[in-house]
Amino acid sequence: MKNPFLATNHEYHWNSCIGPQSSELNYIDGYIESSIELANYVLENKKYGKVDTLIFPILFNARHGIELTLKFYQKTFSQCGIDTESAPQNHRLDIILSRILNAKIPDRELSKNISKLAPYITGISEIDTSGQDFRYFENKNGHQSLSNHPIINLVVVRQCLEEMKNILDETTTRLITFSQERSTKTHTTKCSRADLYHITQELPMHAEWHLSKFKKIKENIKREFNLSNNQFDNAIKKIKNQRQLGSIIGIERNPIALTGTSAIKAAHLWKEYHAFERKAFDERHINKEENLMISKKASVEKIRELIKELKIEELADLETIFYLSRNREFVEHYEEMYEKTLPSYQRSPDIFIKVHHVFAKVNFLTEIKRGISILGNPSLADSLGKVEN
C-alpha cells in the first residue's frame, strides 16, 4: 500500500526537504517560526474564533523549539569541550537552562545572550513544566492541564516570541562561530577567540606596556571580562603569540617563506601581467591578431619572470596566502595550509601551470595584501597597497 503523504506532485517547487536533506537547525527554526506565523495569522486576519484553539499549537511549537534549541546548545558546548552535563531525558527546560548557565561559558557575547533568554525560557517553562500541558487536555495525573492559567493574551505571546527569536538567532549564530573558532586553540579557559580580539582592541601598542597607562587599561579589562591577574596574563600570552592579534599591538611577523622583497616583486609583476592581459583583450576585439600575440607573449613572460625570481617555497607561500585570505580561513591554520601546499609545488611537473592558475586571478593582489596583513605584517601589506593603487 502506497503512503498517500509521500505521493508525488507536478508542483515540485513545493517539495520539502526532510530526512537526509534536512538539518537540526531546520527543526529548531521550523517550530519557532511556525509559532510566530500562526500568531501572525490569527492577529493580522482578526481570527477571533481561532484564538482559543490555535493558541495551543502556538505555545507548543514555541516551547518545543526552545527545547530543541537548548539541547542543540548543550551538544555544541560539549563538542567544544565545555561541560554542561548531559541533556535530561525529559522536557524540563528549567533544568537544561540551569546546566547551561552553570557551565560558565567562556565567551562574553554568548553568556550575555543566554542570560537575556533566561526570562523567556523560565516564563514558558513555568506555564508548562513538563512539556505536556500545551499538548494534552489532561496531564499524566489525570488533572486538567493549565488549570492555574485560565487566560493568556496572544498579543503579549507574539511579542515575547518575536523578542525571544531575535535573541535565539543571535545566540545560535554566535555559537556556531564560537564552535568553529575552538579549533584554532586561540582561547583560554575564561576567554574565547572573540573575547581575545576585543581585549586586543583595548590594549595599547606593545612598546607602551611599560608606561603607567597600561596598568589602568589592564584593570579596566580585568573588570570588564571578570578576569583575575593570572587569567589576564594567560589572555596576554595568547594575544602575543597569535599572528593577527599580535600585529594589532605592534608585534609584526613575516610569512613563512615569502620575503618582503619577493612580495613587492610579485605585486609589480602581477600588475604588469594584467596590463598586458587587458591590452590583449582589447586587441582581440579590434581584430589586431599580431598585436594580440605580442601582448599574450608579454604577459606569459611576466609569469616566467616570477618563477625565475622567487624560490619554490615562496611561490607555494603566495598560493597559501592567497587562498587563506580568499577563503576567509583562520590565520591559525596558515602553517598547516602551507605544509600541504608546498609538496604540490615541489612535485609539480609544470610549475608554470600552478603559478598561472593563481597569478592570473584579478583579485590576486587584493587577497595577498589582506592575507599578509592578517598574518601579522600590516607594514608590508601597506607597501603592497601602494603598488596596487
pLDDT tens, position by position, 14-44:
999 989 999 999 999 999 999 999 999 999 9
Task: Kindly state the average pLDDT of the residues 79-96.
Answer: 83
pTM: 0.86
Residue range 82-90: mean pLDDT, rounded: 74
The Cα-based distances of 13 to 8, 31, 255 in angstroms read 12, 22, 50
Q: Which residue has the higher pLDDT, 280 or 105?
A: 105
| Reported confidence tier of residue 88, pLDDT bands at 50, 70, 90 | low
* C-alpha 317, offset from chain centre: 25
Cell digits for 156? 503579549
DSSP secondary structure string, 102-116? Answer: HT--S-HHHHHHHHH
Least confident of 83-87, 145-149, 319-323: 83-87
Residue 89: the pLDDT is: 73
The residue ranges of DSSP E strands in the chain, in sequence order, are none
Indicate whether 171 pLDDT > 60. yes
Residues 228-239: what's their mean pLDDT?
A: 97
Count of Cβ atoms closer than 10 Å to residue 35 Cβ? 26
Q: What integer pLDDT is reported at residue 296 of this predicted model? A: 62
Residue 46: partners with Cβ closer than 8 Å, 6 or more residues away: none
For cell 533568554, the residue is: 117
Percent of the chain with pLDDT over 70: 94
- Given a contact cutoff of 8 angstroms between Cβ atoms, the answer to whether 341 and 319 are in contact is yes
Distances (CA, A) of 227 to 114, 199, 223, 246, 308: 20, 11, 7, 20, 53
Amino acid type, 309: E
pLDDT of 282 reads: 53
Of residues 300 and 363, more confidently modeled: 363
Burial of 349 (0-12, 13-18, 19+ CB in 10 A): exposed
Mean pLDDT, rounded, of the chain: 91
Cα separation values, 311 from 50, 171, 191, 307, 329, Å: 75, 46, 40, 7, 25
Q: What is the distance between the alpha carbons of residues 319 and 42, in angstroms, rounded to a whole number? A: 57
Q: How confident is the model at residue 266 (pLDDT cuts 50, 70, 90)?
A: very high
Rounded to the nearest angstrom, the gap between the alpha carbon of residue 18 and the centroid of all alpha carbons in its chain is 25
Is residue 350 left, alpha or beta, with left meaning phi > 0 and alpha meaning psi from -120 to 50? beta
* Whether residue 85 has pLDDT greater than 70: yes
Q: Give the three-state DSSP class for 85.
A: coil
pLDDT-derived band at 286 (thresholds 50, 70, 90) equals: very low
